[in-house]
Amino acid sequence: MTAFFTALLNSLDIGLLLFVIAVGLNIVFGVLNVINFAHGALYMIGAYLGFSLIAMLGWPFWAALIVAPLGVAALAVVLDRLVLRFIYGREITDSLLLTFALLLVLNESVRMIWGSGIHVVEPPALLAGTLDLPGGVRYPVYNLFVIGVGLAMLAGLWALFNRSRVGRIMRAASLDADMAKALGINTRLVVTGAFAFGAWLAAVGGVVAAPMRAIDPGMGDKIIIESFIVVVIGGLGSFPGALIGALVLGAIHAFGGRYFPEVNMVLPFIGMALVLLVKPNGLMGKGAA
Partner 1 sequence: MKNAIVLIVLAAVLAGLVALPWVAPYFYIFLGTEVLILGLFAASFNLVFGYSGMLSFGHAAFYGIGAYATALILLHLEWPFLACLVVAMGAGALLALVIGFLSVRLDEVYFAMLTLAFGMMVFAVAHQWRSVTNGSDGIAGFMLGDFAPGVDWSLGDPAVYYHVVLGVVVVAAAVLYLICRSSFGLILRAIRQNPERVSFCGLDVRRYRLAAFTVAGAFAGLSGALMAPFLRVASPEMLHWSMSAEPVLMSILGGTGYFLGPFFGAAIFVLLESWITGFTDAWMLVLGVMLALMVMFFRRGVLGTLLDWVQGNHD
Binding site for partner 1 (CB under 8 A): 29, 33-35, 37, 83, 86-87, 92-94, 96-98, 100-105, 107-109, 111-112, 221, 224-225, 228-229, 231-232, 236, 265-266, 269, 272-273, 276-277, 280-281
Q: Smallest distance from the beta carbon of 110 to partner 1, in angstroms?
A: 10
250 vs 271, beta carbon nearer partner 1: 271
Instruction: Between 219 and 236, name the residue whose CB sits nearer to partner 1.
Output: 236
Q: How far is the CB of 182 from partner 1 (least distance, A)?
A: 26
Tell the smallest beta-carbon distance from residue 283 to partner 1 (Å).
14
Identify residue 144 by its one-letter amino acid code. Answer: L
84, 195 contact by CB (below 8 A): yes
Q: List the alpha helices (DSSP H) in the chain.
A: 2-32, 39-51, 61-82, 92-114, 141-163, 165-175, 177-182, 187-209, 219-234, 239-259, 267-278
Taking the C-alpha atoms of residue 186 and residue 183, their distance in angstroms, rounded to an integer, is: 9
Nearer to partner 1, 4 or 86 (CB): 86
Q: Which residues are bridge partners to 138 per DSSP?
A: 132
Task: Give the residue with the Cβ less far from partner 1, 102 or 208.
Answer: 102
Picking from 234, 248, 279, 271, the residue whose alpha carbon sits closest to that of residue 29 is 234
Considering Cα of 196, then 201, then 205, then 207, what sign does the dihedral take?
Answer: positive
Q: What angle do CA 19, 24, 30 make, to 5 degrees?
A: 120
What is the closest distance, in whole angstroms, from the C-beta atom of residue 152 to partner 1 in the complex?
A: 28
Residue type, 174: S
Q: What letters, b where the CB count within 10 A reaches 16 and e where it falls short, cover 95-120?
A: beebbeebbeebbeebeeebeeeebe
- Return the number of the residue (62 or 86) whose C-beta is nearest partner 1: 86
**Shortest separation between residue 163's beta carbon and partner 1, angstroms:** 29
Nearest-approach distance from CB 129 to partner 1, in angstroms: 32
State the nearest-atom distance from the C-beta of 286 to partner 1, in Å: 12
Residues forming a β-bridge with 137? 133
Residue 101 or 152: which CB sits closer to partner 1? Answer: 101
Q: Which residue number, 152 or 266, has a Cβ lying nearer to partner 1?
A: 266
Q: Residues 151, 20: contact at Cβ < 8 Å?
A: no
Secondary structure of residue 53 in the 3-state scheme = helix
What's the sign of the alpha-carbon dihedral 47, 50, 56, 62? negative
* Min separation Cβ 161 and partner 1, Å: 21
Q: Which is nearer to partner 1, 202 or 236 (CB)?
A: 236
